[in-house]
């Protein structure tokens, strides 16, 4: 059991003793192990506990770390001076109980006194002055020195908890703190501003005043101390070296040291990192930080490199930011000039003037542009052929521009020159080949082989397409170009274009042929002039002269020709009701030779027409009928009178227009119209009319009526539509016979025509919907013939047949109604 006792004076204790004496409690009790906590620095002479003796014990003895402070008397444990935790934080005491003879009867029993701390000690810096140094650009927050203070008070209590703080930084520019301190550990490091801005050249040393406070710096009663810290800023040697320049294609043994980097302290691990991924990376670094190029470089492959140098600690953690290394590769003249192509081709026109630019040869040099290594010089070293002489061309030394040097060239003399050109840079020479083609110009005119192609006589019926003449001109310009190709034209004597000329592109031979029929009657003589031309224009100063023209006479002879109709089909239109002898049309033909013409008709199948043999007029000779032939076609023949009696044929088409000359009629002969007798109820039937005249698109519009007024009590006609009407009975009392009903049908035409038709309607006794005639033995009635045969055989059978007939007759009324559907009779059923 833990008992805490805190007594402030004996008076209190006396009070307690008087009240609590004899009882076991917080302040008294039997001997047993106990622990007491007592603040240090308390007033002296305080009673801690009273041990009660029990016989045979009469007194107690104290031993252990009493330090002369703790005493026991009459069982009362007390200390006689103030305690000091910093001297001894825990006192381990032993108490024994003794009997009257001084012999130990109980114990020793451990009694522990813990001295509790009070803030009775100031923090103190271990040094009154600190000195340290820091590299420029050190990582922010990385400690480079420590300050350290101690406080004797219990570090487990706020009394011993210390907080560090920078109070002053000198110099302090723009109120920026370059240094910071860890308030628990006293570690001093750079702020990020300090990392960036500290510069030993500007200011190599700083002074800080650092304070330390106990009580966690929170209590205003805390103690504090301060110290001075002098800091020297040292240069950072981890810096990117100057850009390196390496001459390409070096023949020195590799690797070659080109630059170096150094970390501020020894022992860093160095490496290189590529900035861009290269097919080969020709640099390396050793553990001293020296950087090498491992092989010769080629500026023409890559003219600069950028990469990083990295320093790491032994754990592989970067010590600082990587440094960028720049390497520039310097040019040497290690590339010869190159020609733009195996052969460079220029073209020169024949009439090109001296000094004209022919073309430019642009050779290339891979070495660095705009340096002496890539400046090229051109020189012609050979010309083939050397005719008419050498030195026809010159080249400008530094531009490669070629010019005509001496005089204009003639393709006929030399069509092509080969030049060898030396192109040189500082150290190299390259030969390039230039070919110069001399191009023809149109400076030659076509010249006819002869100026007159003579006379030719042709019959006027010479077949179109016949070749009648071959002409030829020649041109001395370069073959198969627009300068030498020849186009022939007829400039006189053929204004109708009856002739044409085809040219053979290989030989320039012209074939004159007939394009349209010749005609003696319009043009018997053609005085023709041919011209030969080039499609390309001639160069200035050259013109076509008389040698480019040729003449030709064509005589056309007459041939007797058949008459010609003015058109192949003649058309005319008349009304079908024209009177006989009316002129319905005319045709005309002419004979090229001017002979008289006699007209006749052919194919007048209906004998409707005749033609006046002299005038060509056509007349009707019979009534015309559109309903028979709406378009009447005949042939007309024109025959020369005299001569060879040649003739021609044309067509004459006569269109007949309609007149209303046909009355309406029934569409067919109605024979099977019947009603079964006796009529049981009123019935009706439908009939249709038609008209042979031309009808409008909507069809005919007939009107129907009964032909006789006396029938109006028995029959009625009603129109269904333009063509159909219904005939109905008005009662059932008709006789068993045939009635012929006259019907009037009007076509409503211009003028209207009316036709009277007769509809035969039969009333008869019906058997299965058709008329049954018992008295009239029909040879085709098999039932009757069979009945007679059977009658002769047996009376019994006769009786049965009579019975059958009787039953049939009884049923006839019903059959009549049903079978009427199958005939054209439609019984009315209301
Ligand atoms: C501070 O000094 C104390 C006592 O000398 C020592 O125990 C402690 O390790 C020191 N602290 C630092 C950070 O140097
Ligand atoms: C000590 O520093 C820490 C972090 O650096 C901070 O959170 C704390 O408030 C500081 N204590 C005092 C008393 O300044
Ligand atoms: C190096 O130079 C020599 C001549 O100096 C040349 O023949 C060679 O092609 C060059 N190498 C490269 C890679 O340019
Ligand atoms: C061609 O005809 C003309 C006129 O008819 C005539 O003068 C000329 O002599 C003829 N030429 C030849 C070569 O027959
Ligand atoms: C036409 O010119 C050519 C040369 O271009 C010449 O040979 C010819 O004689 C000339 N013809 C005439 C008729 O002048
Ligand atoms: C018919 O003769 C007349 C004069 O009589 C004429 O004007 C008309 O062109 C001729 N018609 C035809 C088709 O020949
Ligand atoms: C007229 O009526 C008859 C009978 O109803 C019918 O068959 C026919 O198609 C009709 N004709 C027209 C043009 O409607």
Tell me how far the alpha carbon of residue 545 lies from the centroid of ligand 5, in angstroms: 6
Q: What is the pLDDT of residue 778?
A: 45
With a 6 A CB cut-off, is 173 part of the ligand 7 pocket?
no
Is residue 805 within 8 Å of residue 772, measured between CB atoms?
Answer: no
Q: Is the pLDDT of residue 783 over 80?
A: no
- The ligand whose atoms approach the alpha carbon of 527 most closely is 4
Q: Best of 123, 141, 177, 183 to mutate for ligand 2, by most ligand atoms within 8 A of CB? A: 183
Give the percent of the chain with pLDDT over 90: 48
Tell me how far the alpha carbon of residue 500 lies from the centroid of ligand 5, in angstroms: 26
Q: What is the pLDDT of residue 30?
A: 84
With a 6 A CB cut-off, is 155 part of the ligand 1 pocket?
no
Is residue 271 within 8 Å of residue 312, measured between CB atoms?
Answer: yes
Q: How confident is the model at residue 614 (pLDDT cuts 50, 70, 90)?
A: very high
Q: How confident is the model at residue 297 (pLDDT cuts 50, 70, 90)?
A: very high
With a 6 A CB cut-off, is 148 part of the ligand 1 pocket?
yes
Contacts of 806 (CB under 8 A, 6+ apart): none
- pLDDT tens profile 577-607: 899 999 999 999 998 888 899 999 999 999 9
With a 6 A CB cut-off, is 570 part of the ligand 6 pocket?
yes
With a 6 A CB cut-off, is 527 part of the ligand 4 pocket?
no
With a 6 A CB cut-off, is 162 part of the ligand 2 pocket?
no
Q: How confident is the model at residue 243 (pLDDT cuts 50, 70, 90)?
A: very high
With a 6 A CB cut-off, is 741 part of the ligand 2 pocket?
no
With a 6 A CB cut-off, is 249 part of the ligand 3 pocket?
yes
Q: Considering only CA atoms, which residue is closest to atom 10 of ligand 6?
A: 586
In order, the DSSP letters of 736-793 are SSEEEEEEEEE---SS--EEEEEEEEEEE-EETTEE--SSS--TT-HHHHHHHHHHHH
**Mean pLDDT calculated for residue range 765-792:** 55
CA gap 815, 830 in Å, rounded: 19
**Mean pLDDT calculated for residue range 614-624:** 94
Q: What is the pLDDT of residue 773?
A: 62
Tell me how far the alpha carbon of residue 526 lies from the centroid of ligand 4, in angstroms: 13
Q: Considering only CA atoms, which residue is closest to atom 6 of ligand 3?
A: 334
Q: Is the pLDDT of residue 826 over 70?
A: no
With a 6 A CB cut-off, is 661 part of the ligand 3 pocket?
no
Q: How confident is the model at residue 503 (pLDDT cuts 50, 70, 90)?
A: very high
Q: Is the pLDDT of residue 799 over 70?
A: no
- pLDDT tens profile 699-723: 888 999 998 888 888 999 999 998 9
678-697 burial by CB neighbour count: b if 16+ within 10 A, else e? ebeebbbbebebbbebbeee
With a 6 A CB cut-off, is 638 part of the ligand 6 pocket?
no
Residue 83: CB atoms within 10 Å: 24
Tell me how far the alpha carbon of residue 461 lies from the centroid of ligand 6, in angstroms: 30
Q: What is the pLDDT of residue 246?
A: 94
Q: What is the pLDDT of residue 1?
A: 35
Q: Best of 686, 719, 724, 725 to mutate for ligand 7, by most ligand atoms within 8 A of CB? A: 724
Instruction: Return mean pLDDT, the chain.
Output: 85
**Mean pLDDT calculated for residue range 564-571:** 93
CA gap 714, 153 in Å, rounded: 152
CA gap 312, 314 in Å, rounded: 7
Q: What is the pLDDT of residue 418?
A: 96
With a 6 A CB cut-off, is 143 part of the ligand 1 pocket?
no
In which residue are the tokens 């702020």 written? 191
With a 6 A CB cut-off, is 145 part of the ligand 1 pocket?
no
Ligand 3 nearest atom to the CA of residue 300, by list position: 14
- The ligand whose atoms approach the alpha carbon of 650 most closely is 6
**Mean pLDDT calculated for residue range 645-649:** 91
Q: Is the pLDDT of residue 819 over 50?
A: no
Q: Is the pLDDT of residue 441 over 60?
A: yes
- The ligand whose atoms approach the alpha carbon of 186 most closely is 1
E strand or H helix at 815: helix 795-820
With a 6 A CB cut-off, is 720 part of the ligand 7 pocket?
yes
Task: Say which residue, 70 or 216, is predicted with more confidence.
Answer: 70
Residue 710: CB atoms within 10 Å: 7
With a 6 A CB cut-off, is 736 part of the ligand 3 pocket?
no
* Tokens at 182, concatenated: 């860890």
With a 6 A CB cut-off, is 724 part of the ligand 7 pocket?
yes
Q: What is the pLDDT of residue 214?
A: 84
With a 6 A CB cut-off, is 586 part of the ligand 6 pocket?
yes
Tell me how far the alpha carbon of residue 249 lies from the centroid of ligand 3, in angstroms: 6
Task: Say which residue, 523 or 26, is predicted with more confidence.
Answer: 523
- The ligand whose atoms approach the alpha carbon of 127 most closely is 1
Q: Considering only CA atoms, which residue is closest to atom 2 of ligand 1?
A: 148
Burial of 64 (0-12, 13-18, 19+ CB in 10 A): middle
* Tokens at 44, concatenated: 């002296």
Residue 380, preceding peptide bond in cis (omega within 30° of 0) = no
- Across 4-8, 395-399, 419-423, 686-690, least confident range: 4-8
Tell me how far the alpha carbon of residue 451 lies from the centroid of ligand 4, in angstroms: 15
Q: What is the pLDDT of residue 262?
A: 92
Q: What is the pLDDT of residue 7?
A: 38
Ligand 3 nearest atom to the CA of residue 296, by list position: 13
Ligand 5 nearest atom to the CA of residue 548, by list position: 1
Contacts of 75 (CB under 8 A, 6+ apart): 50, 51, 52, 53, 59, 60
Question: Quick one: which of 422, 416, 408 has its CA closest to 438?
Answer: 416
E strand or H helix at 820: helix 795-820
**Measured torsion, CA atoms of residues 232, 238, 240, 241, in degrees rounded to the nearest 10:** 90
* Tokens at 618, concatenated: 């056509």
Q: Is the pLDDT of residue 797 over 80?
A: no
- The ligand whose atoms approach the alpha carbon of 549 most closely is 5
Q: Is the pLDDT of residue 130 over 70?
A: yes
- pLDDT tens profile 300-312: 999 999 999 999 9
Ligand 3 nearest atom to the CA of residue 298, by list position: 13
**Mean pLDDT calculated for residue range 264-283:** 91
Q: Considering only CA atoms, which residue is closest to atom 13 of ligand 2?
A: 217
Q: Is the pLDDT of residue 4 over 50?
A: no
Residue 585: CB atoms within 10 Å: 20
**Mean pLDDT calculated for residue range 791-796:** 49
- The ligand whose atoms approach the alpha carbon of 702 most closely is 7
Ligand 5 nearest atom to the CA of residue 546, by list position: 13
Q: Considering only CA atoms, which residue is closest to atom 5 of ligand 6?
A: 586
Q: What is the pLDDT of residue 509?
A: 96
Give the percent of the chain with pLDDT over 70: 90
Residue 184: CB atoms within 10 Å: 11
* Tokens at 163, concatenated: 């907080």
Q: How confident is the model at residue 787 (pLDDT cuts 50, 70, 90)?
A: very low
Q: What is the pLDDT of residue 806?
A: 54
Q: Best of 452, 477, 545 to mutate for ligand 5, by most ligand atoms within 8 A of CB? A: 545
Tell me how far the alpha carbon of residue 583 lies from the centroid of ligand 6, in angstroms: 11
With a 6 A CB cut-off, is 203 part of the ligand 1 pocket?
no
Q: What is the pLDDT of residue 766?
A: 84
Q: Best of 455, 527, 552 to mutate for ligand 4, by most ligand atoms within 8 A of CB? A: 455
- Across 85-99, 565-579, 770-784, least confident range: 770-784
Q: Considering only CA atoms, which residue is closest to atom 6 of ligand 4?
A: 455
Q: What is the pLDDT of residue 710?
A: 87
Tell me how far the alpha carbon of residue 295 lies from the centroid of ligand 3, in angstroms: 13
Q: Best of 150, 162, 227 to mutate for ligand 1, by most ligand atoms within 8 A of CB? A: 150
With a 6 A CB cut-off, is 304 part of the ligand 1 pocket?
no
- pLDDT tens profile 163-215: 999 999 999 888 999 999 998 899 999 999 998 899 998 899 999 999 998 88
Query: What domains lie within the chain, and their CATH numbers?
Result: 2-116 (2.60.40.60), 124-234 (2.60.40.60), 244-330 (2.60.40.60), 343-439 (2.60.40.60), 447-557 (2.60.40.60), 564-657 (2.60.40.60), 665-772 (2.60.40.60)
Q: Is the pLDDT of residue 805 over 70?
A: no
Q: Is the pLDDT of residue 660 over 90?
A: no
Q: How confident is the model at residue 807 (pLDDT cuts 50, 70, 90)?
A: low
Tell me how far the alpha carbon of residue 315 lies from the centroid of ligand 1, in angstroms: 26
Is residue 749 within 8 Å of residue 660, measured between CB atoms?
Answer: yes
Q: Tell how far CA 639 is from the center of its chain.
A: 76
């Amino acid at each position: 059991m833990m008992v805490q006792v805190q007594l402030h004076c004996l008076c209190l204790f006396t009070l307690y003793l008087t009240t609590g004496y004899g009882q076991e409690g917080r302040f008294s009790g039997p001997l047993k192990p106990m622990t007491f906590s007592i603040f240090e620095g308390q007033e002296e002479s305080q009673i801690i506990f009273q041990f009660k003796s029990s016989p045979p014990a009469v007194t107690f003895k104290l031993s252990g770390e009493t330090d002369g402070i703790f005493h026991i008397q009459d069982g009362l444990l007390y200390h006689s001076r103030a305690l000091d935790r910093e001297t001894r934080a825990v006192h381990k005491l032993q108490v024994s109980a003794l009997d009257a003879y001084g012999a130990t009867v109980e114990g020793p029993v451990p009694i522990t006194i813990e001295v509790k701390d009070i803030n009775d000690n100031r923090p103190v810096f271990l040094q009154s002055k600190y000195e340290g140094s820091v590299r420029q650009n050190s990582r922010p927050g990385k400690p480079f020195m420590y300050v350290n203070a101690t406080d004797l008070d219990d570090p487990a209590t706020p009394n011993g908890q210390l907080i560090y703080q920078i109070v002053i930084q000198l110099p302090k520019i723009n109120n920026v703190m370059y240094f910071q301190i860890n308030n628990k550990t006293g570690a001093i490091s750079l702020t990020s501003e300090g990392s960036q801005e500290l510069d030993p050249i500007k200011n190599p040393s700083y002074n800080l005043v650092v304070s330390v406070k106990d009580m966690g710096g929170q209590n205003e009663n805390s103690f504090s101390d301060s110290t001075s810290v002098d800091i020297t800023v040292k240069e950072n040697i981890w810096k990117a070296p100057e850009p390196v320049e390496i001459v390409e294609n070096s023949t020195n043994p590799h690797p070659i040291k080109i630059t170096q980097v150094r970390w501020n302290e020894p022992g860093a691990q160095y490496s290189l990192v590529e900035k861009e991924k290269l097919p080969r990376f020709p640099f390396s670094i050793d553990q001293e930080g020296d950087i090498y190029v491992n092989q010769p470089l080629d500026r023409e492959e890559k003219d600069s490199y950028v990469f990083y140098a990295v320093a790491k600690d032994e754990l592989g953690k970067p010590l600082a930011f990587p440094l960028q290394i720049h390497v520039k590769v310097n040019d040497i003249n290690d590339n010869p000039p190159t020609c733009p192509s195996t052969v460079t081709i220029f073209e020169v026109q024949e009439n090109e003037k001296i000094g004209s630019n022919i073309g430019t040869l642009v050779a290339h040099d891979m070495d660095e542009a705009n340096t002496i290594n890539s400046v090229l010089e051109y020189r012609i070293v050979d010309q083939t052929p050397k005719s008419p002489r050498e030195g026809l061309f010159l080249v400008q030394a530094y531009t490669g521009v070629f010019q005509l040097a001496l005089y204009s060239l003639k393709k006929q003399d030399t069509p092509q020159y080969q030049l060898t050109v030396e192109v040189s840079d500082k150290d190299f020479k390259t030969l390039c080949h230039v070919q110069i083609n001399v191009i023809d110009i149109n400076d030659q005119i076509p010249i006819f082989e002869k100026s007159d192609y003579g006379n030719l006589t042709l019959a006027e019926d010479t077949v179109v397409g016949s070749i009648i003449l071959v002409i030829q001109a020649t041109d001395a310009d370069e073959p198969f170009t627009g300068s030498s190709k020849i186009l022939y034209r007829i400039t006189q004597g053929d204004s109708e274009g009856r002739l044409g000329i085809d040219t053979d592109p290989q030989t320039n031979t012209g074939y004159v042929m007939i394009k349209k029929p010749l005609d003696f009657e319009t043009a018997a003589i053609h005085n023709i002039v041919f011209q030969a031309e080039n499609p390309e224009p001639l160069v200035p100063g050259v013109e076509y002269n008389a040698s480019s023209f040729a003449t030709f006479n064509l005589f056309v002879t007459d041939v007797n020709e058949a008459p010609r109709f003015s058109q192949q089909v003649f058309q005319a239109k008349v009304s079908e009701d024209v009177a006989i002898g009316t002129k319905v049309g005319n045709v005309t033909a002419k004979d090229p030779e001017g002979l008289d013409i006699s007209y006749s008709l052919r194919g007048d199948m209906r004998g409707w027409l005749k033609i006046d043999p002299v005038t060509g007029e056509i007349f009707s000779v019979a009534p015309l009928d559109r309903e028979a032939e709406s378009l009447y076609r005949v042939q007309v023949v024109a025959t020369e009178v005299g001569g060879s009696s040649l003739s021609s044929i044309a067509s004459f088409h006569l269109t007949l227009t309609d007149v209303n000359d046909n009355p309406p009629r029934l569409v067919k002969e109605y024979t099977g119209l019947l009603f079964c007798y006796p009529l049981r109820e009123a019935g009706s039937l439908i009939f249709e009319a038609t008209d042979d005249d031309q009808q409008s698109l909507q069809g005919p519009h007939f009107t129907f009526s009964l032909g006789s007024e006396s029938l109006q009590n028995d029959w009625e006609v009603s129109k269904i539509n333009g063509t159909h009407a219904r005939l109905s009975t008005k009662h059932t009392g008709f006789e068993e016979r045939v009635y012929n009903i006259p019907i009037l049908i009007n076509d409503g035409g211009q003028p209207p025509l009316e036709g009277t038709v007769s509809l035969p309607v039969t009333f008869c006794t019906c058997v299965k919907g058709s008329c049954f005639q018992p008295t009239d033995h029909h040879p085709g009635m098999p039932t009757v013939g069979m009945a007679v045969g059977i009658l002769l055989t047996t009376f019994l059978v006769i009786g049965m047949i009579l019975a059958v007939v009787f039953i049939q007759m009884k049923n006839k009324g019903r059959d009549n109604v049903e079978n009427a559907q199958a005939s054209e009779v439609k019984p009315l059923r209301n």
